[in-house]
Amino acid sequence: MLKFFNRLEKTRNFVLLVFGILMVLSLVLFYAPTQRGVETNLSHSEETVAKVSGEKISVGELYRQKEQYSQYVQGRSFPAKMLLNGLISSRIARVEAARLGLTASDQEVRAEICDQMKAGGKSCSSDEDKNNYQDNIASQFGSVSAYEENIRDEISARKLEAFITSGVTVSEDEVLNDFKKKNTKFDLSYVMIDPTELAKTIKPSDDDLRQYFEQNKAAYYISVPQKKIKYIFVNTSKIGEKLSLTDAELRAEYDMLPEDKKSRCLGTGDRCQDPETR
């Protein structure tokens, strides 16, 4: 079969071209809808992620909230764990508000939504605005009921916070100290920094070191030729203490000196002879 295609070069290229087009079309037609279908299924999934006293948090709720937050951070990924912790906190507030009888009523929820619509320039009495509101809410929160439940949790959480803090008494000194802490300003002259301690906290990676070297090559350039030299220190006084020389050796060494250098005595029995007086 391969030999046959080698003989028919034009036909072989045509077959390969048709096969490549079919592969591209199959990817476009089958992969993209599947990807959109997966995202749609996630946004409407009722699978439970966590439970707080019977109040469940679904995969769809977590996914929709992640999509909403990504709009505020310019499409960057938002940690799902942080969002899940926030949802768990809201469920705790819902359970505690229900236990204390502080759950928001339907009337309070409707009033809150109406205030939001008015803030956005919409009317609560307009059927068109209501329909637009329901469409927008359904696309963002999955359903109108899910959004209204979210509003109910927010109102209940505010009422719960007011109930908890109502019994808290703050003295004038605490208020004054907090005010000073938040509003005191000062000019910084200098700060004592221990380079040794600071260096312990700095742990640059190999890439950081390489990048710094590339940017500061001129500072590390050595223009003068370098030589490797090893030095040996010789203590002549110590060596002299260990050497044993006879008078004959000293006299022979003395005779080899130039005349202008012969100004010292030799041995213990000779008289000192200065070259100029000799």
- For range 252-272, the mean pLDDT: 66
- pLDDT at position 112 is 87
Please give the share of the chain, as a percent, with pLDDT higher than 70: 77
Spatial CB neighbours of 273, under 8 Å, sequence gap ≥ 6: 262, 265
- pLDDT at position 27 is 53
pLDDT interval class at 267 (50, 70, 90): very low
pLDDT interval class at 37 (50, 70, 90): very low
- pLDDT at position 110 is 86
Please give the share of the chain, as a percent, with pLDDT higher than 90: 1
Pick 213 or 5 by higher pLDDT.
Answer: 213
Q: Could you give phi then psi for residue 114, rounded to 5 degrees?
A: -65, -40
Q: Which of 67-81, 107-121, 235-249, 256-270 has the lowest mean pLDDT?
A: 256-270
From the CB of residue 41, how many other CB atoms can be counted at a distance below 10 Å? 13
Handedness of CA 136, 141, 142, 147 (dihedral sign): negative
- pLDDT at position 113 is 85
From the CB of residue 154, how many other CB atoms can be counted at a distance below 10 Å? 15
Average pLDDT, the chain: 75
- For range 113-127, the mean pLDDT: 80
- For the chain, where are the E strands, in sequence order? 48-52, 55-58
CA 201/CA 10 separation, integer angstroms: 67
Pick 136 or 35 by higher pLDDT.
Answer: 136
- For range 17-37, the mean pLDDT: 52
- Using a CB cutoff of 8 Å and minimum separation of 24, what contacts does 192-200 make? none
- pLDDT at position 268 is 47
pLDDT interval class at 275 (50, 70, 90): very low
CA 48/CA 95 separation, integer angstroms: 17
